[in-house]
């Protein structure tokens, strides 16, 4: 039986401020790299709060469904500019096993940046790659506002707002 942690948009906003304040005290990134897809909204929010407009993207997938991973993350695409001698901040929503952050860091290192740091909203206590900046350690499966419908599609017992509307409207494929 999977236990869920379901932050609201307000919880996310508070946590994003907490993470952003830690970054501002410690680091001056030139570029933010958002890990698609879950890292996109956190990266946009952090970018606006810390005032760094330059966001690039890396697409990598690890989870097929709730709690089930592939053997290793699959790199799908990289959308970055020249990162040489730049201070890079990698942003994702969560570090769970840490495989995704580790893989992305290894890829970004090949671009010879000056520094690589990472930020997530949450980290799992067992992660092998803690980000440099995060808000909370959470040991449950996290249902983010931006991926709750993906989770509910597989597990319709998850108690989220607007579930009835979702279940009536989504197209089953």
Q: Which two tokens stand for residue 84?
A: 């040489």
In the complex, least distance from residue 10 CB atom to Mg ion, rounded to whole angstroms: 22
Please write down the HEC assignment for all residues of 54-121.
CEEEEEEEEEEECCEEEEEEEEEEEECCCCCCCEEEEEEEEECCCHHHHHHHHHHHCCCCCEEEEEEE
Stretch (H or E) spanning 136: strand 136-137
In the complex, least distance from residue 110 CB atom to ligand PRP, rounded to whole angstroms: 19
35 counts as binding ligand PRP under rule CB under 6 A: yes
Exactly one of 7, 29, 38, 42 binds Mg ion (CB under 5 A); which one? 38
- Whole-angstrom distance, CA of residue 63 vs CA of residue 161: 24
Pick the closest to residue 90 from 65, 74, 64, 109 (CA basis): 109
97 binds, among ligand PRP, Mg ion, none (CB under 5 to 8 A by kind): ligand PRP
User: Between 123 and 162, how does the x/- string for binding to ligand PRP read (CB under 6 A)?
Assistant: ------------------------x---------------
In the complex, least distance from residue 121 CB atom to ligand PRP, rounded to whole angstroms: 10
Show Cβ contacts of residue 39 under 8 Å, excluding neighbours closer than 6 positions.
90, 91, 92, 93, 120
The closest residue (CB) to ligand PRP is 38
Judged by CB, which is closer to Mg ion: 24, or 97?
A: 97
Site for ligand PRP in 62-121 (CB under 6 A): 62-63, 73, 92-100
- Residue whose token pair is 């969560």: 94
Judged by CB, which is closer to ligand PRP: 4, or 62?
A: 62
Give the footprint of ligand PRP on this chain (CB under 6 A).
35, 37-38, 61-63, 73, 92-100, 147
């Amino acid at each position: 039986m999977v236990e869920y942690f379901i932050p609201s948009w307000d919880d996310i906003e508070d946590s994003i401020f907490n993470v952003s304040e830690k970054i501002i005290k410690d680091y001056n990134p030139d570029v933010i790299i958002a890990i698609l897809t879950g890292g996109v909204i956190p990266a946009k929010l952090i970018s606006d709060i810390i005032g760094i407009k330059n966001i690039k993207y890396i697409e990598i997938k690890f989870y097929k469904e709730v709690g089930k991973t592939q053997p290793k993350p699959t790199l799908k695409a990289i959308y970055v500019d020249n990162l040489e001698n730049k201070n890079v901040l990698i942003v994702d929503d969560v570090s769970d096993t840490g495989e995704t952050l580790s893989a992305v860091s290894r890829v970004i290192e090949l671009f010879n940046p000056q520094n690589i740091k990472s930020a997530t909203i949450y980290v799992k206590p067992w992660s092998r790659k803690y980000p440099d900046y995060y808000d909370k350690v959470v040991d449950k499966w996290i249902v983010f506002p931006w991926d709750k419908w993906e989770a509910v599609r597989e597990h319709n017992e998850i108690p989220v707002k607007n579930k009835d509307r979702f279940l009536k409207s989504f197209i089953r494929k």
